[in-house]
Amino acid sequence: MEYPKKFDVCPNCGSMVRIIEAETREAASKGKVGVDMKTGCIMTQTPIFDPTKVAVIAPKKVHIIMARYDVCADCGTLYCVEVQRDEGTATPHVRRDNFEQRP
């Protein structure tokens, strides 16, 4: 699959106007944020890996799918506007509930 994937129109009404994108552009024009800043009302990162195969001692590089969502300014639909793939490091998770609580 080719990345990045961009979805420029609202799947519900076809509008190209998005609330968070418009607010970010306005803030950039006032110098409050960088002009290249990308944001969304929800941003997710999903690692693609088999947890049984992650190295216990040394971190392992894994694929990460990052999705950015925004809200249509015309109909209010929340939808994905961009999906990218990157690489990150997966490390074992230490469960804290196995440790005694200190007073």
Residue 78 lies in a domain: yes
Residue 102 lies in a domain: no
pLDDT tens per residue across all 103 residues of the chain: 899 999 999 999 999 999 999 999 999 999 998 888 888 889 998 888 776 765 555 566 788 899 999 999 999 999 999 999 988 765 555 444 444 444 4
Residue 95 lies in a domain: no
CB atoms inside a 10 Å sphere around CB 18:
24
Residue span of the structural domain in which 21 resides: 5-90
Residue 21 lies in a domain: yes
Question: Is this structure's pTM higher than 0.85?
Answer: no
Phi, psi (deg, nearest 5) at residue 20: -65, -40
Residue 101 lies in a domain: no
* Number of domains within the chain: 1
